[in-house]
Amino acid sequence: MAFVLLTALVASGSDAISAVDADVRALADLALGTSDGPWPGAGGRADLVGSALLGAGLAAVLGVLLRRRRFGAALWVLAGLTAQFAAEMLLEPVVGRPLPVPADGTPPDAGFSFPSGHMASATLLLVVLLVVMRTGTPLWWLCLVVGPLCAAAVGISRVLADAHHAADVAGGALLGLAVGFAVAWRVDARSPNTFGKEA
């Protein structure tokens, strides 16, 4: 419901959403520098770090599943990522939100920005990891603390890279939660309590 509501607000061009987006971008620029700094902009450090974190998360989840011979679970993760990507591709032209104007004032690239696929994927991977691991282990607690920080870093990187507005990142997180819980339920139902036995 939250995702549907946010999607409707963004599609309607809500002034409240635009104001939040502007405030978040101003805070990000204040914290990490203006468009002249090394962090913001396409190809800047934030863009590279966010993509690297997402790639590392995917490699970690698939690596652990394959190492423990949970091939079906790995396929479900890939299927979930594919479904999330398809949903993103369908929503972008429907919502029709243009990409952010870069902080340096240059025209934005062609395309649409809602929701953030990077954030959706990062959230999906985190949900699957936390749900299918055996709770209470040291590794689970580590993932519970570090995982959301890494996912948040991916989201912040998309704003700083001028790839998405803050609301797009929030939409991606909500989409990732929905698909992630569906995938985690299927993975866990097919092989309950086996992921993380050795943790």
Residue 195 lies in a domain: no
Q: What is the domain range of residue 15?
A: 2-190
Residue 43 lies in a domain: yes
pLDDT digits (tens, 9 = 90+) for 45-65: 888 999 999 999 999 889 878
> Residues of the chain with pLDDT > 90: what percent?
52
Verify cis geometry, omega within 30 degrees of 0, for the bond prior to 38.
no
Residue 56 lies in a domain: yes
Alpha-carbon distances of 167 from 78, 113, 142, 184, 197, rounded to whole Å: 26, 10, 28, 25, 38
Q: Give me the number of domains the chain comprises.
A: 1
Query: What pLDDT score does 136 carry?
Result: 81
CA neighbours closer than 13 Å in the CB half-sphere of residue 128:
30
Cβ contacts of 115 within 8 Å, gap of 6 or more: 7, 88, 91, 92, 168, 171, 172, 174, 175
Q: What is the CA radius of gyration of the chain?
A: 17
Residue 16 lies in a domain: yes
**pTM (2 decimals)?**
0.87
